Chain A
Amino acid sequence: MKEAEAEVTPPVRPPAAPLDHFVQTYGDLLFDLSEAVLWNPLSAQLAFRSILKSIRSGRKRNAFETHERAWVLQIACERILGMVSRHARRVTIEELIELDAHGTVPARMKKFDAYFHRLPAQDQLLLLLKDKHGLPWSEIASALRSPEGSLKVRRQQALRTLEEWLWDAK
């Protein structure tokens, strides 16, 4: 009987991690992601704060979540993609004309940042998470809410697009 009662007893929820824990553990990663996609330090600060607020409101629900980083990244990607339309710095018309103009590959590589930001924000996030921060596909798939196979294809397409802009531009 005692064994049966012990089975029925609900598990005790561990206390939610303090917000400071997220700031110290993921602060640099989140801010760097925000800054790299939004391309504007001020907007990146706003995005970081917005991400933290979402984490604060959702951390109790995620108390049993084992994949904490994937969960944090999921929130971060959502918030960043949500802010892109209003707060991201865009490539101006003048810059676009300059990027499309004839030029040598080394000259274009110097403006790699601008070419990179011509990609869709989701592709930028994908490349940053995979190739800048070296995260595993499983976490990236969770963060961007897409299957791994789709993400691999999209990464390949993004690389092909960048290659066309940098090498095949006429």
Chain B
Amino acid sequence: MGREMMDCFQWQSHASEFIDGSLGEPLGRLAEAHLDGCKECKEHHQHYRLILTSIAGQARKPLPAPLRAAPLSAILPRPELARSRWERIPWYLRTTLEGMSIVLVILIGISAGPRVRRLYERSIEKSLSEFSETFSVSDSSKTDASLPLVPVGATAGAAGDEFSGESEEDVSAEEDDSVETDGDIRVGSSEIWRFNLRTDSPDELIADVSQVFKDLHVAADAGALGGLKIPGGIQFDLLVNKNIVPGLKRSLQKIAPKSSEISAMSPTGETFTWYRIKSRRKIPPGKTRVVIWLSQI
């Protein structure tokens, strides 16, 4: 008895053949019976019939007479809808232009490569110099840190030899050169000596540095003799006579921690470095600015 009934799903499955009238006799009769009882499927059936009538009723376009007469030689109007302006250019011109463009791009790439690299290297150098200025001149507002560093020594060993080889007469001669004669502030007319001591405990070195100042008879009004604690270490910013700089350098080198002690902690392995930088800042004649930086590793 179950076979005598057709449900909506079965009717949908056979709808295409049912509409064509090609459904076999038992199935066709069951589909008819289902349509009589199912309003929804009857509606679908009517819709399908309407759609198929619309498709069958579409106007048939006959083959145009010129095309029928000469199917392969008749001149056809080119459909411009789907073709861009670029595609309408003859292929030989198009491919030539494309090839030349590719070659041009490659040549530009080749010629621009070194320039880009140079620019990149320049920017790296600039950022490096900014970095070193930031760390070497903590009080940049006072010293015009934009000026280039003029290192006269770099490490405790090599630079120390160079420095120690320099007699005090040389220093005084240099002192004479750097004295402003016409009162004009020029690049290099003033100088700042910077001594950097790397240590794992800057506080412990304060007493040693103070002792050095005492030994060298640094005037009490030379600056902050007790040091100034700032993030990353302790800084002494002093205005001293130029002739004590060599002695100060030697004394600081003595109190600097040994490289072997903290080389594992320091990325460069150096514990004592020094520089002399030029400054536009006006410094009284015979004086020089000394910045001692006890940096925390």
Binding site for B on A (CB under 8 A): 19, 23-24, 27-28, 30-32, 35-36, 40-46, 48-49, 52-53, 56, 86-87, 89, 109, 112-113, 116, 127-128, 131-132, 152-153, 155-156, 159-160, 162-163, 166-167
Contacts and interface: CB of A to CB of B under 8 A. Distances in A.
Most buried by A among B44, B63, B78: B63
Contact of A35 (B55, B61, B72, B79): B61
B173 interface: no
A132 B82 CA distance: 27
A45 B76 contact: yes
Interface of B: 12-13, 15-17, 44, 47-48, 50-52, 54-56, 58, 60-64, 67-68, 71-72, 76-79, 81-82
B76 A159 contact: no
Contacts, number: 95
Contact of B17 (A48, A53, A152): A152
Contacts of B58: 36, 113, 132
Contacts of A166: 47, 51
A87 B71 contact: no
B61 A32 contact: yes
Contacts of A40: 79, 81
Nearest to B12: A156
A42 B79 contact: yes
B48 A163 contact: yes
B79 A159 contact: no
9 contacts: A31-B64, A42-B78, A46-B76, A48-B67, A109-B54, A113-B58, A116-B55, A131-B56, A159-B52
B71 A52 contact: yes
Given A131-B52, A159-B51, A162-B51, A49 B81 contact: no
A23 B71 contact: yes
Nearest to A86: B82
A86 B54 CA distance: 27
Contacts of A24: 68
B56 to A, nearest CB: 5
Given A45-B64, A166-B51, 16 more contacts: A27-B71, A28-B60, A42-B78, A42-B79, A42-B81, A43-B82, A45-B77, A49-B76, A86-B82, A127-B55, A131-B56, A132-B55, A132-B60, A159-B15, A159-B16, A163-B51
A42 B77 contact: yes
